[in-house]
Structure 1
Amino acid sequence: MRIGIDLGGTKTEILCLSPDGQEVLRKRIPSPQGNYSATVTAIRDLVLSAEQETGHKGTVGIGIPGSISKHTRRVKNANSTWLIDHPLQDDLSQALERDVRMANDANCFALSEATDGAAQEGQSVFGVILGTGVGGGLVVEKQILNGLNGVAGEWGHNPLPWALEGEQPGQPCYCGQSGCIETFLSGPALARTFENICGTKIDSKEIPNLPDDITDPVFLIYENRLARALASVINLFDPDVIVLGGGVSNVDRWYQTVPDLWTRWVFGKECDTKLVKAKHGDSSGVRGAAWLWPATS
C-alpha cells in the first residue's frame, strides 16, 4: 500500500492507494496552526490510524508547502512558516520508524496530474497551484524536476513580469521580497483586487459565484496578470501542458481567456501549450505524494 499525505496550511489529507492505484482510504483533518510538534504528531497519528483501519502497512510520501534543504535537511521556503528550519522529514521518519519521502506540494500536484490526470498526455508539464499561496512544479516524462537547489518551478516568488503602472513595487511577500507573482495571483490577492475594484471585502472562494457584471472588471485584471506570469514560464520551460489547481483555478473562463492573452508575451507570438484544469481537483496533491513511491513498493 502507498500512503500519501498533503500537508496544507488549513487542512491535512491522507490517501491510501492499493498496489494497482485504487483508493483504499481517504481522510482530512484540520492542520495544526503554528505548532510544529503538533504537526508531526498529527501526521504520525493519521498514518498509524489509516494502517490500523486498512490492515496494511504502507510507504509514506508527503507533500509540504516548502522544500527540504539538501544542506541542513530542514524545511525552507514554506508559507506555513512554523515548519521553517525544522527537520520535518527526519522527525517523521523517526516517528513512523521508516523512510519517508517528501516533496513540495506543487511538485506533488504536478506529478499527480502528469501521471494519471489532466496532463497525462504531456511529456513536459508545469503544475500551478493558485490558492492561499502560489506554487509551481515541473514534471518531465513523469518525473519531478527538483533542481539543484530544490526550487525548480517556484515561479510564485519571481516578480510579476511586464509590470503595468501601479503594480510596482507591489505588496510585501512573506519570502522577504515585494511584488512577487504570489502577491498578485493567490486567493487573498484576488480578494484584495476585488476589494480595490468593488469596495467590499469578500473571501476569494465566493467571488466566482457573483454575477458576471460584478466580477468581470476584477477577472479582466486577474487573467491579464496570470497570462503574463505564465508567458514567462513558457518562454523559459516551454511545457506541453500547464495544469491549474487550487481554489482560484475553479474559474472556467481562465482556460479560454488566458491562452488568448499569453501570446502577446510569448516569444515568437506562437504558442501551442495547453492550459487545462486539474482532473483530481484539490485531492491531486495527496495523490502525487503517494506517487512519490513506485507502484511496485
Structure 2
Amino acid sequence: MNRPAECIACLINSRTGDLREVGLGEEAYYHTLLSLSNLILKSRTRAFSESFRVIAEASGKNDPYWEKKQVLNSLAQRVLELIEGEEMREEDLLRLGAAANSFDTSVLGYEFNPESFSLEKLQEPLAIDETGKIVWEKIGTIAYVLDNSGEAVIDAFIITKLSELGYRVLAVAREDPYEIDVTATELEKILGKGAEVLKSRGNLSPLYALERDTLVGKRLREADLIIAKGIANLEGYIDSGRWLKDKAFFLLRAKCPVIARAFEVQKGSPIAIMEETAWKNSQRIKWNGVTASV
C-alpha cells in the first residue's frame, strides 16, 4: 500500500520520541533509525508495531511505558467519577468513547497534555456523528476493540454499561505492549471478574489482516457489531481491506493531519463513523508512491 510522506515522518518522530522518553543514548538512536530504514516499506501497521519492539528491546523493558500507563489510568478514573452516575443510552456511550480518545504519545503534531483532560473534553461535540445509523435492535454481540491506556478506564465503563443494556460484549486488546495501548492482561484487571477479554497476537492491531484466521478473527466475524477505538485500529483495518465490511464502527479523534484531511474535520476532532464512511473517506488520501507490503 502507498502512504503519505507524513506517515513516514510520524513513524520517525514517534520512535525518536520514545527514545527520549525512555532515556536511551546515541547507540540506541543509530540502531533504531537503521531499523526504521528497513521497516519503512512495510504497511503502516507493521512498521509502527515492529519498530516499537525495537524500542522495547533497546530499553531492556518489555513494556517501557508501564508506569506512565498507570498514571494515565488514574487520571481517567478521576474524570470518569464525575459522570458515572449519569444515565446513558447506546449513542451516548459511543460519543463518550470517541471523545475519550484523547490519550496518546506518538502522533506527529498532536500533543496530549494530561492536565487538559477534563469533563469538558469528554463532553466535546463530535465533528462527525453516525451513532444514529446503528440499528441496535439487530445487535446481540458486540466486539469492543480498545486503544490507549487512560481512555481504557472509560472504555471499561462503556463496556459495563453496554452489558447492563443487555448486549454481550467481548473486549479485545493486544497481547503484547505497544506504546501506551492497554494490553489484554491489563484490561482484565480493569474490567474485573466475569468480563470476556480476547487477546490478539503480538502487538499488532486486532483488526489487522494477520488476525483473520485466529480465534480473535473468528470472534470478530461472528459479532454483530465491532466498535474499534483509535487511529491505529482504523489504519490496521484500512491496511487489510474490508474484511469486516458492514460490521465495524470506528470511534477516534482525528489526531493526525492525514486523518483530519480524509474526513474533512479539524485536527483533534472526535468522530464516530460507520465502516462505509471510514473506507470511502480513506480513499481520499493523497498517496505519495511509497509502496508498502502487508
Q: Same fold (TM over 0.5)?
A: no
TM-score by length of 2: 0.28
The answer to which structure, 1 or 2, has the higher relative contact order (CA under 8 A, 6+ apart) is: 2
TM-score by length of 1: 0.28
Q: Which has the higher helix share?
A: 2
Q: Which has the higher strand share?
A: 1
